[in-house]
A and B are shown apart, each in its own frame.
Chain A
Amino acid sequence: MDGPTIGLVFTLAMLALMFLRVPIAVSMMLAGGIGYVVLAGFTPFLASLKTGPYFQLANESFTVIPLFLLMGFLASHAGISRRIFEAANAFLGHLRGGLCVAAIGGCAFFGAICGSSLATAATMGQVALPEMRRYGYDGALATGTLAAGGTLGILIPPSIPLIVYAILAEQNIAKLFVAAFLPGILATLGYMTAVAITVRLRKGAAPAAARSTWRERACALVRFLPVSVLFLLVVGGIYSGVFTPTEAAAVGTGGVVIIACFARGSKLAIFRQSLVETAVATGMIFMILIGADIFNSFIALSGLPQALASWIVAKGFSPMTVMLAILVVYLIMGCLMDSLSMILLTIPIFFPVVIALDFGLSYEETALWFGILVLIVVEVGLITPPVGMNVFVINKIAGDVPMRQTFKGIVPFLLSDFLRVALLLSFPVLSYGLVYWLGW
């Protein structure tokens, strides 16, 4: 067997292990490790393990991940989502479907503090769902809004899948964060439009809520003030280049700690809970990072990516056809796997392919554009059956809405997602324009 064939065989073996309930990280390590031994022998593989896992854990680009996770979990427990939602609600709540629009705005804002989709969905859901129920909002609309809104946690930087993409594609993390900003705003506006259309088509889905008085609005704004300072520090700090993403994460975590000190309840419990949740989420991500490192060294050794790239070039497919095919692969895989594993497994193979194609863009423009597109399509997997994790989490928090209803409630937001992908595919400048305009 030649290298690329061995690469393909062990890729299939890895998928088979995964589908048999072997943890994703373990499947990568085992298939990658044995494949490496087959190609290069035992000694080089055992030698690579002497320091390889350490360099994954101590990778300077990765230190940002646990810090952003800690910031997000602290923010979830420190009542920050409530401050955000109440401010949005005070100004938008009385509109038709206003609570849903406020929840989406709140998710977008919280997404700028938290890099995880699930945490965003869960924390906003706990605040917004009771309000929606109080005013008799339709269950499908309420749960659909929050499950979809949660994906803004990842679309709007900081975003952990985007950090991993940046490292694999050897791109600047801060630049990708800047690039994701405009598509993130588009996503927010698209979801708000989806709500506006839904409540007009299905009258009675969202009865009017009470209009806040100006006094209530002022109070909500005062409580929102510390959060907006935090937002400016983190997002403004990264975009202006004052902070590196790691520094922004550290400073932001410090800010959340200060806000948490004013939260209700036991401060110690908040910190302990956040640390343990950070431990579990970080542990899972770094196990996958170590596994993917082993597997990707094997894949690089096998020559599979080059073989695939030259096959595609030889076949003479049009660049757009290839891009569409890749995005469809992501949509299908997104129904089975989590976004991070997908990015880790596919970028080393797909990135060289995409870069080899001619879209009339520079190398960097293509890299930014492809990163944003991948980010969006992998997120769609979080709200589609059979394993839409956001949907499960929100459905569990709501408690009394049938799962079918929640998936039905997702449909308008999915349509908005597909429209946005089409828009970004047709106008790549939407993905990289801001990077130039801000002078990065």
Chain B
Amino acid sequence: MEPVPIEPKVERRDLPPFDRLCRWLALAGGVVLALAGAVTVASVFGRYFFNDAIAGDSEIVSNLTAIAVALFLPWCQLARGNVIVDVFTERASAPVKAILDGLGSFLLALIAGVVAWRLAAGGFGLAAAHDETMVLRLPTWWAFAVIAPAFALLAAASVVTTWRDLAPLRRS
């Protein structure tokens, strides 16, 4: 389902350090996204008032967006933003739900780890090949330098949520 738009009111001071780091990175991602929006607006103004759009603005905007979204991912997992279908398991007991949720988080940890590894390999490959964007000739590996570590952090966040998912089992 779509995430419920009302964030649970957690006192920020109560958050564990790792959560605070991820939330802080998500906020930083939000600022990067706002920057992408600002570049778009500047380009529109340039086009209509000065007959001159920012050259290669879409390269800047799409790379900034990619960086912003990657920074969102670890917090999204910690805040349980990744949606599940719970219709079929509504009546399951708490330990069964805990095991299934833990399994889901663990699978995400594995996948995010593999993706981080592959993106790192991809980034190093692009850097070695001196790959550049079409118009502005920006090095393409810059975005990878943020996105690959962000996926590694997503893997870490998923390990944390796996541990938390299994909490009901430890208690009983």
Closest to A289 in B: B69
Contacts of A309 in B (CB 8 A): none
Determine whether B107 belongs to the interface, using a CB cutoff of 8 Å to chain A: yes
Query: Given A54-B66, A283-B73: A389 and B2 within 8 A (CB)?
Result: yes
A338, B83: Cβ atoms closer than 8 Å: yes
Beta-carbon contacts of A233-250 to B below 8 Å, as 1s and 0s?
Answer: 000000000110011011
Smallest beta-carbon distance A410→chain B, Å: 17
Question: How many chain B residues touch the partner (CB < 8 A)?
Answer: 68
Which residues of chain A are within 8 angstroms of B118 by Cβ–Cβ distance? 46, 49-50
Counting contact residues on chain A (CB < 8 A from B), the size range is 35 or more
A24 and B85 contacting across the interface, CB-CB below 8 Å: yes
Known: A59-B62, A247-B40, A277-B5. A287 touches B75 (CB 8 A): no
Q: A286 contacts which chain B residues (CB < 8 A)? A: 69, 72-73
Q: Which of A13-21, A217-225, A360-368 sits within the interface?
A: A13-21
Tell me if A26 and B27 are in contact (CB < 8 A).
no
Chain B nearest CB from A161 CB (Å) reads 10
Q: How far is the CA of A62 from the CA of B5 in the complex (A)?
A: 20
Q: Which residues of the partner chain A approach B69 to less than 8 Å between Cβ atoms?
A: 57, 66, 282-283, 286
The answer to whether the Cβ of A428 comes within 8 Å of any Cβ in the partner chain is no
Q: Which residues of B sit under 8 angstroms from A76, Cβ to Cβ?
A: 5
A-B contact pairs, 25 of them (CB 8 A): A20-B88, A22-B100, A26-B104, A29-B111, A49-B114, A53-B115, A54-B119, A59-B62, A60-B58, A63-B61, A70-B34, A119-B5, A250-B44, A253-B37, A275-B27, A275-B30, A276-B7, A277-B7, A279-B26, A280-B79, A281-B5, A283-B26, A287-B82, A336-B87, A338-B1
Chain B residues in the interface with A (C-beta under 8 A): 1-7, 23, 26-27, 29-31, 33-34, 36-38, 40-41, 43-44, 48, 58, 61-63, 65-66, 68-73, 75-77, 79, 81-89, 97, 100-101, 103-104, 107-108, 111, 114-115, 118-119, 121-122, 125-126, 143-144, 147, 151
Give me the 4 closest cross-chain CB pairs, A-B, nearest first. Answer: A283-B76, A275-B30, A50-B122, A250-B40
